[in-house]
Structure 1
Amino acid sequence: MVSAVPPEIADWFSGRGWRVRRHQAEMLAASDAGKHAMLVADTGAGKTLAGFLPTLAAFTPSRIADGARPEGLHTLYISPLKALAHDVQRNLVTPVEEMGLDIRVETRSGDTSSDKKRRQRSKPPNVLLTTPESLSLLLSYPESFDLFAGLKRVVVDEVHAFATQKRGDMLALSLSRLQAIAPSMQRAALSATVADPEAFQGWVAPWGDIDQVELVIGEEGAEPQVEILLPDEERVPWGGHAATWSIPQLYGRIRKNRTTLVFTNTRFLAEYIFQHLWDANHDNLPIGIHHGSLSKEARRKVEAAMAAGELRALVCTASLDLGVDWGDIDLVVQMGAPKGSSRLLQRIGRANHRLDSPSRALLVPGNRFEFLEATAARDAVKEGMRDGEDFRPGGLDVLAQHVMACACAAPFDEAALLREIRSCLPYAGVDESVWGRVLEFVATGGYALRAYDKFKRITKDGDGLWRLSHPEHAHRHRMNAGIILDAEMLEVRFRNGRSLGKVEERFAASLRPGDTFQFSGVNVEVEQLKDMELIVRASAKSAMIPSYGGLRLPLTTHLADRVRTMLTDRAGWARFPDDVREWLEVQDWRSHLPGPDNLLVESFPHAKRHYTVYYTFVGWNANQSLGMLITKRMDEMGLMPGGFVANDYSLAVWGLKPVTDPAPLLSPDILTEEFIDWVQDSHLLRRAFREVAVIGGLVERQHPGKRKTGRQVTFSTDLIYDVLRKYEPDHVLIEAAWADARARMTDIGRLGDLLDTAAEKLDFVELDRVSPLAVPVMVMIGRESVPQGAQDDELLLEAESLAGAAMRVDGVPEESDRSN
C-alpha cells in the first residue's frame, strides 16, 4: 500500500537529509484509504511525525489545490503526559513553520489557563494536543457537538501507557462519543513497546470493525547498548533499593557525557538521588530534577533547559519516560530495577532519539535480586521481547463518570448511549442489567441512597430522555471529574507566593513549625500550615525528604519468569560477578533454587523466631496479600504468627512455632472465603471504594472556593461504604471497588496462579539457619514503614551480619574470606 507524499513534505524531509520512512508512508496511505491505523515502531523512528503526516498533508497547498483550507479543529492528539504534549507542540511547530503550512497548534491540559480553555471551545486550533482527562471534560460541554463535528483525525500516542487501565477506559468512551459526533473520524494509535499489537488493534477499532484498522510495523532501528553498573571493588549489595553505592561512579559518567537522564521509580528516590548527586557535584554541573509533584513552573523550566541543552543531568520519574524527544541525551540511567522490559525499552529510547543511532543505557541495581532482574531485562531488550498488561472489562466507576459527562453536554437517549458505549472494547460486554444499575446510580445514588437529594444528578423526562436534574451539577462534575487520584496534596509555597510544588497531606500533617524537609533540591523550613498550603522558607539546616504513598511499580510476569529461569541455569552463572555467582552456588549447596515451574519454601530458626520464606516472584502487591492470608491461616492453626515482610521476589513470615508443612497454608481455597473475609475486614476495600466513589462522582473533592481534605473525603466515603455494605451490598460501586481490590491492590490473578503452582509442585526445605537467598527479604524486617533508600547504610550493615551466617557451609569459607 503506497500513497503519494505531498512534495512540500518530501522536500522538507530531503532538505534535512532525511527520507520518508516506509512506516510513515504507510500511515499516510492508510489514512488516504479511509482506514484507522495502529503503528508499532522503535523509539526514534519518527512515530509522532508518522501519526501527524496525514494532518500535515491535508494542509499542503498541493493537496488543497483549488479546494478550501480545512477550517476548525482537524486533529486531536492524545498524550498520557502533559510534558509529552508540550514537547510534541515544540517539535510539531518546527516542520509546520518550515513547510510554510497554515496550521495553528495548541495544547490543553490541567496547566492551561481557564481563559485559554474557554477560547479554545469557541475558536479551536486546527490541531489540539491534550490528555484523556481534558478530552473528557471538553465532551461535557454543550458546544462539544459543534467543536468536534468536523474532526477528521485522532492520534493516540504511547497507547500502551494507558489503554489497559482506567485512563484507557475513559479514552475509549471518549473516542466512541467522538465517532458518534464525527462518523468519518479516523483513529491512529502509536507505540514502541506493545507486546501484542493485534490486541491493541481491537482497542483502537470501533468494536467489530477491526478489519478497518491497518497494522503498521515500523522499520527496525539500531540495537540499544545496555550496560549494568557494578561496584568498582566492593560486592553487589545484599539489600537496599536506592543504589547510593553508585553515586561516585554515576557522577563520573555524568561528567563524561553531554546530557544524562537518570530515571528513578518513585518521587522519593528522585529527590534522594538528586541530593546525593548534588553532594558529589564538586564541579557545579547543572543538574536538575523533575517529577509530578513539582510546580508547573519548575517542570516547565527544567523541560525548557533540557530542550536547550543547558543541563548535564536530569533526575526524574515516570513523568518523563514517554516519548519526550530530547536528541542530545546520550546516556539514560535506570536507578534500581526496571520492573519490565517494555518500561526499560521506553526509558532507554530517551537517549539518542534517532532510529539509526543506538541508545545507550546504564542499569544500576540496588541489590542482588535487582542485578538478576536488570540482567533479565537487558536480555529481553536484546531479544526484542516486550511485556505488558492484559485488557480487562472497563471500570463501572469510569462508565458512571462518562454518563454524567454526556448528560452535562445534552439530554441523552439511554438506548442510543448504550449502543455508543458498547462500540468500544472495554465496554462491549455491558449488558442491560449492568447498564440499568449504572443509570440508577447516576440518577439517584442507588437504592440505599435514593432518599438523599444530593445524589439525584439526572432525571428521566416525559420525552424519554435523561437530563441533568439541576444545571449546577454540570459545574460540580467538571470540578471533580478525572481518573488520576493521587493522595491529597498540599501546596508548598514561600511567603512571597512562589510555589515549589506539592507534598502529600499525610506527610504535611506530620510537620510542625521549625521542621525542615528537602524539596525540588531546596532545604526548606516549615513556618505554618494555612488553608491547605504549607508556608516555608529557605533553610541551611539538614532536612528529611518527603515520603509519598501510592502503589509500587509491579514486576511484570514476563520478567519474573526470566529471573526464575536464570536461577536454575547454572551454566549461565558464569557471566555473573563472582559474589553473585557464589551467592547462588552456596544457595544451591545449602538449600534449593526456585525455578520457573515450582514454588520454593524454606523454613529456619533465627533470633528466637521461626521463619518461613516463600520465593514467589509475583510482585509486592500479591506478596502482601499472600502474607495477610497466610498469617490469618497460621493463627487459625495455632502457629502463633508474628508478622511478615515482602518484596517483589519473596515473602518472609515469622512466628513462635515452626511451619513443618506449608501446603495447608497455600491451598487454593484460601482465595475463597478467607480472601473475601480478609478484604472486607481490611482497609483495602474501603480504600478501593474511596477511589471509585470519587471517580464515579458519589463524593466530591472540590467545591466552589474550597477543596475537601483527604481526611474529610475518607470520612465521607467511609460513612457511605458502611451504609452500602449493610443495606445494598450489590451496589454498583461496591462491585467496582471489588474489581479494583482484586486486580490492582491484591493482584489476585497472579496470586491464584502461584497457588496453582504450589498445589502442583511445592519444594519445601527445612534449614538450620537463614539461607543466602533469604537475606535480601530478611533485612527488610522492621523497615517497611521507612521510605526506600532512607536507611540503606544501616540496612547494608545488617545484611552483612545476616550474610555471614547465610554463606557459611561446612567446609566452605564465607564469601568474605574467599579470594577473587
Structure 2
Amino acid sequence: MSGDPLLPPIFSDWFDRRGWRPRAHQLDLLRIAGSGRSALLVAPTGAGKTLAGFLPSLVALAGRPKGAKAGGLHTLYVSPLKALAVDIARNLDAPIAEIGLPVRVETRTGDTPAHKRTRQIDRPPDILLTTPEQLSLLIAHREAAALFAELRCVVLDELHALVTSKRGDLLSLALARLHRLSPGLTAIGLSATVREPDELRKYLVPQKAPDAPSLADLVVVQGGAKPDLRMLEIDRRLPLAGHTAYQSMPAIYDLIRAHRTVLVFVNTRLQAEYTFQELWRLNDDVLPIALHHGSLDAQQRRRVEAAMAAGQLRAIVCTATLDLGIDWGDVDLVVNIGAPKGASRIMQRIGRANHRMDEPSKAYLVPANRFEILECRAALDAVEEAAQDTPDARIGAPDVLAQHVLGMACADAFDPVALYDEVTAAAPYVGLTWEEFEQVVDYVATGGYALRAYERFAKILRGPDGLWRVRDARTAQQYRMNVGTIIEATTVKVRLARSLRGKPGTVLPKTGRVLGEIEEDFAETLTVGDTFLFAGEVLRFEGLAEDEALVTKAGPGTDPAIPSYAGAKFPLSTFLAARVRALIADPFEWDRLPKQVSDYLLQQRRRSLLPGPRDLLVETFPRGGRHYLTAFPFEGRLAHQTLGMLLTRRLERARLRPLGFAANDYGIAIWTNRDLSERIGFEPRFLEDLFAEDMLGDDLEAWLDESAMMKRTFRQCAVIAGLIERRFPGQKKTGRQVTISTDLVYDVLRKHQPDHLLLRAARQDAATGLLDVRRLGMMLRRIQGRIIHKALDRVSPLSVSVMLEIGRERVYGEGADEILAEAEAQLLEEALA
C-alpha cells in the first residue's frame, strides 16, 4: 500500500494500480511545498524528479472543490529546452488522465502558434510549461499582474544547466518578478548532482544581502545504479587530429544493430549532419535512424521526438538539443562521439539511457583522435568517482539587466527604487549597487551620454510622477521580437523548392516545405549547382530568394559540403584538463590506455619530455625554413587562442617577428623567421618573462581594444541589451547589417565613452566567455617557475597535433581526414626519424 497522510487517497490508489510506492524524496518535497517553503531536489537520472516536482501542484489542484471555477494559472514549469517541455507535457498527461484530475496542461514555446499564445493570456491553463524566453515575454505583458496573481508554484527543471549562463541571469530576474507578483510563491528546483548545491538553493528564493544568503530547503536523493560507461576501442589506428571519428562509424553502426534504441550524441550540428550521413551509408539493414539538431525545422524535430516516444526509431543522431531530461525509457544505449569536454556533461548525456534510477545507464565514449582518448579516460575516471565539474556561480550580466528593465517598462510604469529592490532579490544581482543600477536605467533611457543625442536609443521615458514608462508601442513591439540571450548567427531558411514543369533548374520561390535554417555566412559561399548536406539529405543549391535558400534534392555522385555553424565547440573543462595533465605525467597509468596512445607518449618522452601536472612544456625547433615554438598548457582552445594573441604581441615587441599562431584544446604553436632556441638560450629568463602574468594587464587591454573577437563580444552584448535590434516588424537584419551597426557604435564608444555600460559588459564576458581570460590567468599563475624548455632539431610527437592546426581550411568529412592523415604522416615521419 502507498498510504501516507500527505497523499490523498486518489493518489495512493494510483500508485497502487501502477505497482509503485511513492519515494521518500517525493513525499519530502510534498511536505516542504505544503508548508509554503521552496526547495531544491538533487537526484540522479531516473529518480522521479519530474513527478516529485509536480506532485505538490497536482495534489493542490485535486483538492479544489468540485465544480469550482478554475482559479487561473496555478503552476509554471520552466525548461531550458523546447523538446523537454513538450516531453514533460506528454508524460504529465498519463497521471492526470489515470487519476481523473480536472487539470489543464499546455506548453508555450517559440514554436507555439500566436493564436494559442494569445488565448493562454486570456484563459490560462492550470499548468503552463514554458522556456525562459517565453517567461520573460509573459512578465513583460500588460496583463502580467492578473496572469500571475494566483500563481502558487514554479518548477525550474534542469536548474544546474540554466544558472551558468546569461539565460540563467534572465530567468533569475523573471523569478524575482514572480515572487513580487505572487508573494506566497513556492519555487521548486530540479537538478542533477552538482558540486555546490547551495548556489542553486540561493537562486530559488529572494535574497536580502550578499553576506547573508537565504537558502531554499535541500532534498538529496542518494544511490542509484552506477552507470556502465566504456570507451569504444577499435583495431584501426586513430589520428592525432580531426573530429569525425570516421574510423569508428562501422563499430557505431554495429552498436545500433545490437540495441533497441540508441542516442548518438555529437558536440556540433556539423558533426551531426556528417555522422547521420555516414551511418545511412552503412545502413544495409535500412534501420530507422533519425537526425535532431537545433537548425532543423521545428515540425521536423517534433516528428522525430514523437517517433522516438512511440518506439519507432532505432537511433537518433543528436546534439545538445536532447541533452537534458528527455524521458525515453526505451533508450538502452547512449553513444557520445568525441571527447565529452566535461564530467558533468557526460553524466547528463549518459543518463538518457535506461532512464530509471534502479537500472544502470549504458554508454560508450567514442574518441575521434588519440588526444581524445586521454580526455575520455579522464572522464571515465571522473564518472567512476562521481566527481563533478559544475561551473562556478555567475555575477549577473548588466546587458541582461538592461533587457529586463525595458521589459518591466513594457509591462507597466515602474518606480526605480522598487525595481532595484526586486532586482537585487535575484541571486546573481544581490551584490548590485544602486549606482550600478542607475547606470543601467540611464542606458535604457538614453543609450549612455555618448549616444543620448540620438532619439532612437531612448527606450524609456520618465514621467512627472517619477515613474519610468516604455517610450511607445513600437519600442515595446521591438522588445518582444528581440527578447532572450541566445545570440545565434544570422540564418536563412532552407526551402525544398519545386521545379517549374518542363524547366529543370528553374524553381518556384515560396513553394515546398521548409527543412530548417543554415547560417547566412555559409549560404553566401554557395553558387547555383553546389551541393551540401542538410536535414540528412544531399541538397542542390538553386539560389537565394529574400531570406530563403532554395534547394532541390541532388542526384547521386555528388560531393556535398557540410554547413558550418558558429559557436558550436565546447571548451575542455578545467577539471578534466587537470586530470589529462596528471594522466600524461604518470607512466604507471599508461597501462590503462590503448597501446597506440601509450606508445605515442613513450615516443614523446624519448624524443623530448613529458611535463608534470603543474608544468608547462615549451618546445622550439626549426622546420621548412621557419622556427617554431610550441607550448602545452592543456587549458582549452579559447584560452589558448587568447594566449596566442598575447604571446605574438610580446614576440613582436622583442623583434622576433612572429608570423602566426595556431591553437587547439591542448596547446599552441607560434612560428617566426627568427631562431627562438638561440634567443631563449641567450636570455635565461626569456620564457619566464614571455609567460609572465602581467600580460593580462596592458597587453590584454591593448589587444582587446583592437581585437575582432572583442568586437564580436560587444556585438552580442549590444543585441542582448537592445542597443541593436536583430528583428523589426516585417523584417530581419542581416548579419552584415548587425555587424556594421555594432562596429560603428563600438568605435564611437571607445573614443567618447570608454566606461560605457556595454563596453564593461563586453569586458566581463571576455574574462569568462569568448576569450577565457580568467582561466588563462589561473594557468599563468600555475606555471610560474615551472616552465620547462626543450630545444629540438625537429618537431616532436607531441607537437604534431597542434602543428596540424596550421592552415586548416573549413572542410569536413573524409576529404579533410585524408588531408590531415597525409600531413600527420609527414610530420610523424620527421618526428620519429
State which of 503, 515, 539 in structure 1 corresponds to 2:518: 503
Distance 1:790 1:435, change over 3 A: farther
Cα distance in structure 2, aligned partners of 1:18 and 1:783: 57
Whether the 8 Å contact between 2:614 and 2:783 is mirrored in structure 1 is: no
Cα distance in structure 2, aligned partners of 1:517 and 1:712: 26
Whether the 8 Å contact between 1:27 and 1:51 is mirrored in structure 2 is: yes
Residue aligning to 1:248: 250
CA deviations over 1:452-501 (Å, ceiling 9, x no partner)? 11112211111111112223211121111111110001000122231000
Shift of 1:664: 2.1
Cα distance in structure 1, aligned partners of 2:40 and 2:815: 43
Residue 424 (structure 2) pairs with residue 422 (structure 1): yes
Residue 241 (structure 2) pairs with residue 224 (structure 1): no
Q: How many percent of aligned residue pairs carry the same amino acid? A: 50
SS at the partner of 2:450?
A: helix
Residue aligning to 1:279: 281
SS at the partner of 1:447?
A: coil
Residue aligning to 1:651: 668
Cα distance in structure 2, aligned partners of 1:569 and 1:306: 44
Residue aligning to 2:694: 669
Whether the 8 Å contact between 1:286 and 1:311 is mirrored in structure 2 is: yes
Residue aligning to 1:125: 125
Cα distance in structure 2, aligned partners of 1:794 and 1:533: 33
Residue 587 (structure 2) pairs with residue 585 (structure 1): no
Q: TM-score, normalised by structure 1?
A: 0.96
Cα distance in structure 1, aligned partners of 2:214 and 2:767: 34
Shift of 1:553: 0.5
Cα distance in structure 1, aligned partners of 2:10 and 2:582: 53
Residue aligning to 1:817: none
Residue 401 (structure 2) pairs with residue 399 (structure 1): yes
Shift of 1:800: 2.5
Residue 697 (structure 2) pairs with residue 695 (structure 1): no
Whether the 8 Å contact between 1:333 and 1:361 is mirrored in structure 2 is: yes
Shift of 1:713: 1.0
Shift of 1:212: 5.1
Residue aligning to 1:151: 151
Shift of 1:789: 7.3
Paired letter, 2:637: W
CA deviations over 1:121-180 (Å, ceiling 9, x no partner)? 110011100000000011111101000011001111111112021000000000000000
State which of 523, 526, 537 in structure 2 corresponds to 1:522: 537
Residue aligning to 2:360: 358
Residue aligning to 1:53: 55
Shift of 1:749: 0.8
Cα distance in structure 2, aligned partners of 1:777 and 1:3: 64
Whether the 8 Å contact between 2:367 and 2:376 is mirrored in structure 1 is: yes
The alignment covers a number of residue pairs equal to 804
Shift of 1:220: 1.5
Q: TM-score, normalised by structure 2?
A: 0.94
Residue aligning to 2:111: 111
State which of 528, 532, 555 in structure 1 corresponds to 2:572: 555
Cα distance in structure 1, aligned partners of 2:449 and 2:239: 57
SS at the partner of 2:47?
A: coil
SS at the partner of 2:164?
A: coil
SS at the partner of 1:45?
A: coil
Distance 1:803 1:754, change over 3 A: same
Paired letter, 2:22: V
Whether the 8 Å contact between 1:193 and 1:346 is mirrored in structure 2 is: no
Whether the 8 Å contact between 1:492 and 1:533 is mirrored in structure 2 is: yes
Distance 1:205 1:324, change over 3 A: same
CA deviations over 1:225-282 (Å, ceiling 9, x no partner)? 11111222x2232221111100111111111111111000000000011111111111
Residue aligning to 1:196: 196
Paired letter, 2:791: E
CA deviations over 1:194-241 (Å, ceiling 9, x no partner)? 221112111222114855511111132110011111222x22322211
Shift of 1:105: 0.5
Whether the 8 Å contact between 1:487 and 1:504 is mirrored in structure 2 is: yes
Paired letter, 1:426: P
Distance 1:601 1:11, change over 3 A: farther
State which of 762, 765, 768 in structure 2 corresponds to 1:740: 765
Cα distance in structure 2, aligned partners of 1:7 and 1:565: 56
Distance 1:773 1:456, change over 3 A: same
SS at the partner of 2:627?
A: strand
Residue 617 (structure 2) pairs with residue 600 (structure 1): yes
Shift of 1:70: 5.9
Cα distance in structure 1, aligned partners of 2:274 and 2:88: 30
Residue aligning to 2:683: none
Which stretch has the larger CA shift, 449-458 or 112-121? 449-458
SS at the partner of 1:745?
A: coil
What are the equivalent positions in structure 2 for 1:10-409 lying under 5 Å apart? 10-60=12-62, 63-64=63-64, 71-208=71-208, 213-232=216-235, 234-409=236-411
Residue 797 (structure 2) pairs with residue 772 (structure 1): yes
Residue aligning to 1:811: none
- Which residues of structure 1 form unaligned runs of 5+? 809-820
Which stretch has the larger CA shift, 82-91 or 715-724? 715-724
Shift of 1:183: 0.4
Whether the 8 Å contact between 2:243 and 2:338 is mirrored in structure 1 is: yes
Whether the 8 Å contact between 1:388 and 1:556 is mirrored in structure 2 is: no
State which of 593, 613, 629 in structure 2 corresponds to 1:576: 593
Cα distance in structure 2, aligned partners of 1:582 and 1:70: 70
CA deviations over 1:277-336 (Å, ceiling 9, x no partner)? 111111111111000000011101111111111111110100101111111111100101
Whether the 8 Å contact between 1:3 and 1:28 is mirrored in structure 2 is: no
Whether the 8 Å contact between 1:583 and 1:807 is mirrored in structure 2 is: no
Paired letter, 1:577: P
Which stretch has the larger CA shift, 304-313 or 661-670? 661-670
CA deviations over 1:743-793 (Å, ceiling 9, x no partner)? 211101110011112223112222222222222212222116445876122
Distance 1:506 1:484, change over 3 A: same
Residue aligning to 2:706: 681
Whether the 8 Å contact between 1:603 and 1:765 is mirrored in structure 2 is: yes
Whether the 8 Å contact between 1:226 and 1:361 is mirrored in structure 2 is: yes
What are the equivalent positions in structure 2 for 1:800-811 lying under 5 Å apart? 800-807=825-832
CA deviations over 1:77-112 (Å, ceiling 9, x no partner)? 100010110011111111111111111010101101
CA deviations over 1:380-405 (Å, ceiling 9, x no partner)? 11111111211121111100000000
Cα distance in structure 1, aligned partners of 2:656 and 2:610: 26
Paired letter, 1:653: I
SS at the partner of 1:462?
A: coil
Residue aligning to 2:507: none
Which stretch has the larger CA shift, 647-656 or 346-355? 647-656
Which stretch has the larger CA shift, 81-90 or 524-533? 524-533
- Root mean square deviation, CA, Å: 1.6
What are the equivalent positions in structure 2 for 1:808-819 lying under 5 Å apart? none
Cα distance in structure 2, aligned partners of 1:764 and 1:684: 30
Residue aligning to 1:813: none
Distance 1:241 1:688, change over 3 A: same
Cα distance in structure 2, aligned partners of 1:775 and 1:388: 32
Whether the 8 Å contact between 1:189 and 1:204 is mirrored in structure 2 is: yes
Paired letter, 2:324: L
Whether the 8 Å contact between 1:59 and 1:69 is mirrored in structure 2 is: no
- Which residues of structure 2 form unaligned runs of 5+? 498-510, 681-685
Whether the 8 Å contact between 2:399 and 2:718 is mirrored in structure 1 is: yes
Cα distance in structure 1, aligned partners of 2:674 and 2:747: 37
Cα distance in structure 2, aligned partners of 1:484 and 1:280: 36
Shift of 1:542: 3.1
